[in-house]
Structure 1
Amino acid sequence: MTTITTAAALLADIAVEADRTDAVQAFVKQETILVEIVTTDGLRGTGYSYTIGTGGSSVLALLNDHLLPLLVGEDARNVEALWQRLFSATRATTTGAITSLALAAVDTALWDLRCRRAGEPLWRLAGGYRRQVPVYDTEGGWLHLTTDDLVKSALAAQKAGWAGVKIKVGKPNPAEDAERLRAVREAVGASLHIMTDANQSQSASSALRLARALEPYDPYWLEEPLPADDLSGHARLATATCIPIAVGESMYSLTQFRTYLESGAASVVQVDAARVGGITPWLKVAHLAESHNVQVCPHFLMELHVSLAAAVPNGAFVEYIPQLRAVTRTELAVHHGMAVAPDTPGIGIDWDMDAIDNRRVA
């Protein structure tokens, strides 16, 4: 039998491994929401989502008060049906971050169960396109770091055979961003991809000036230059610059991605499994992007996204930001610049529940 007998959630705070700043905020901790689902056949599935400092208790309350009670007695194999049921039960709060994060914690647990029951790893059961995906580094590109720091990190990534590095932009003067990018480009040459990320910090006019300042140094993309809900602004900017525009980490539904893609406002899709509501909608976004001939380069959550990016033909890169090493028994494997999806049954995360309990806040 595959009937769900219990569904429980907890909230744990995981400290960041390094100072992380961008143009609008600092990543001070990961509020991690875990959901464990147990079925009558004795299997356990664990899923999760996150925030970067606020809102975790609200996600937990939504799960405990409204969503988890709906799972008991249901067949865990019916992942799509359960996602739709829980989504429908939260109509008053959709589409929004809190609801999507709560749905994601449940959905990833259900996929963990699905994979364990099938005896297959996530990358294969979700599509099985390949097992390895190129990786790029973000941890060495935060906004507070000096230009020398950026150059050293980029050279280290290049020496290790990684595909690229990300540099945060959004300094008060775009000339400063351009100078930092120039120094990195001159150090690594033309072969290493340099991604740039403005974290929604720009206005329509400043985004255009920033893009023009960065263009000579051939950025692989300019990420979230404008507020994520400024669809027309991103579309206009995409036609005004030769730099590909990357968006998606701050989108919470399939429809938002559809409108961006149809408007030509996204050349790279950075869908985040936690923020879009789980693996089930993540795969829909990835296939939608494929129909527009657009790459998927998921945001953060490398321990989960490596398997999803490997599952689909347009999964182009995995973003390297280590965050779960304090609460897992294994970590993401990277060999010769390629992130390797775990081949064990489940979503591929080997949680250390004692370490999580030590960081549990609710």
Structure 2
Amino acid sequence: MPTLTRLSGASLLFAAAIMAPEAASACTTATTNTNLGSFSSYTIASTPQQGSGLAGLQCDILLAALTTHYIGLRVEASTFRLTGPTGQTIPYTASLTSGGTPLAVGNVLDLSSLSLVSLLSGTNNSVPIYFRTSAAAGLRAGTYSGFIDLRWYYSVCSLGVAVCLAYSSSPGFVRPLIGPATVWGTGVPVRVNVQLTVQNDCIITAPNVAFGSAPLAGAFNPVTRTILIRCSAGAVYTVGLDDGNNALSGVRRMRSGTNYLRYELYKTATSADRWGAVGAARRSSASADTNAGIYDSTTTQGYSYRAAILPGQITPPAGSYSDTIRIDVTF
């Protein structure tokens, strides 16, 4: 009989699981800081300042552009004032568009109907926020700070191209099957910090000095003038006068071509003390001839001085002699 050989076969099962990639978070939130810049106290007093920053929500808008995205915002708290080191304040408004409707505490905004491209137009697909200050006078120098507390709600596709496979949502958000969202959940709080720096500044009025004409250097009469200075609130300062463009060995000189006429400037109308730019030669705001020691940004200090052609010098050739003196104020 023929021998039958039974063949036993073993099957090898080849299996492969295709795993859906883990969904990345399409939206993130973070505290942000906006610096509106540094300005003179007189600029702040006369001109509103504007600037922009980020409102604390950033989303990846390249995914599943055809799906429905939900984004909402609630304004939790803000004084809408920047407060300085002495308690003075600068009012400001904030909006989500430049020149748009100002945000107010308690505002609840459903931003879902807006184009994501326009809504997330800030840096790295973030929601921008715009600030505008109101004019505020009499401010002392320093950093003025404020904040806005916002709460963001969102449900944005985090995986997909035409059809969304996964969503990134804020806590408690329930996506509706169709139509507007009704259960927004608790959202995510963020703080937007805002600051602006006020700098000391002064407004200076300095009339020119004209000695007139004379045949001899010793025939010119002294001239008295007054420099008016008004500085930022609280700004104690000193005032200096430099040596001009033609000084020689610490003596001021006016020039006509290659010829010179020596002169000097003295503190007050009767003082023999030279008014200069260094150390004790400067004048203190506490020693102003008028309104000394008043630092309220609106009161002007007056500094009288005497300008005189120096006697004893050889009369130079006839001509029109001139020089330029620079005034400096140091806080």
TM-score of the pair, normalised by structure 1: 0.19
Greater RCO structure (CA 8 Å; 6+ sep): 1
Q: Which has the larger radius of gyration?
A: 2
Larger fraction in helix: 1
- Which is strand-richer, 1 or 2? 2
